[in-house]
Structure 1
Amino acid sequence: MKQIQSPQNPLIKSLLLLQEKAKARKQSGTFLIEGQREITLALQGGYQLETVLFVPEMIATTSLQSQVPQSVTWIEISREVYQKLAYRDTTEGIIAVAKMQNHELETLILPQNPLLLVAEAIEKPGNLGALLRTADAVGADAVVIANPKTDLYNPNIVRSSVGCLFTNSIATGTSAEVISFLQQKNIAIYSATLQNANAYHENDYTGPTALVVGTEATGLTEAWREAATQNIIIPMSGTIDSMNVSVAAAILLFEAKRQRGFT
């Protein structure tokens, strides 16, 4: 088995670029996954691994080795190398190099009566990671990111989603493309906005439904307000008129699941 002891190794330098640069990830079509649970979820989600790097004294790889295809290269690395690569404060001693998946709208496979979360122009990776966790928790059929403002494989998204990047069906596109896609599929659009809206719990989400949320700062663009089957609002009693986007999404999604009987 190959061993790497120095952070100056050319392979390690290339992996550091994957952590730091969206351009490097795009050019190579690969990204890093840190942690045994996340790697396991990626494998379950159909992601292909190229390489697994691990620190022998930090992790027992036996259970994971049985899940990883034999074609994947395993490399022993030193603690020094791992600490250079690791993105999280709490470490497990294992990192994988994985191939990105295709997230075009045309690849999205939906059930007969889908429940979708659509998020427009979310800028903060942490918020996007939290949205993916929320979608996984509620069992949404897909997450669609309209007008994406951050690289889906940003290490902070991988980290903050705690592996839910791999458990959700995810597609991306412009707002115009996503709206057209939803209309063609006869999926009702419920846009969370302050303008011309009724209370979210007054609507019926038992049919094909897309719940659409935007940024906390500017909200949804006009295109979503105009395309909506119904604009919806979460009534609030405080001074401010907005909340964290993942919290808003959770409220809407769990109401939809309540109406559907949590199936």
Structure 2
Amino acid sequence: MSSAPLTTAPSPAGAALALQDVRLGHPDGAALPGTVTLRIAPGELLAVVGPSGCGKSTLLRTLAGLLPPLEGYVTQDGEPVARPAADRALVFQHDALLPWRTVRANVELPLAIRRVPRAERRRSAADWLDRVGLADHAHKLPHQLSGGQRQRVQLARALAGRPRTVLMDEPFGALDAHTRAEMQDLLVDILRGTGATVVFVTHDVDEALHLGDRVVLLGSDRVLDVPRPRRRDAQHAPETAELRRRILESL
């Protein structure tokens, strides 16, 4: 049975995620201290910060269904998260592009796995490459692109499958400051209208405050609302500066 055209279908609503008394860790290793109870609203961008080793990446993998919680419950729309699913996408710091596939073929990959017809895959990939500003690079291989361009391809690949949840593990951490700022603004612009729920892990407090609707301080059970509207110069506003101070103190 063929899939419905992705470019004409409405954007899916973001997923509601919840963790209840979750203890994070690997089944064959030590559990991380404390438990996590958290609710993430549909369409929210939740930024996650915390000291090294507090479980930020483990949290993402648990939400993705790659790691089971050692205790507690993880749900998406009230249903247990027991395994990976096509409507949850992971975006990593290292782009994880397949080096033998062209840019277009990399973006098409999640659609090919779902057996979306070739013509529809091509249209969707072309649309997303245009959105991330790489329409002229579709036939290149990943090694022919800059680091920022490869991250744009990874973002296009993640969103081409129209996920309801996007889990991002420090995706801009390896980029220079200028490219990182460009990618942050591109992410905000592209996510507008997708409806996706986003959990964004970062070590950069300013990045968390610029991108997040809320910031969770993992390991302290504190979740802080971020003042809006979102502006690049908002860090100088008194309320944002005070929030930044509180976050840095907690780290």
TM-score by length of 2: 0.28
- Bigger relative contact order (CA 8 A; separation at least 6): 2
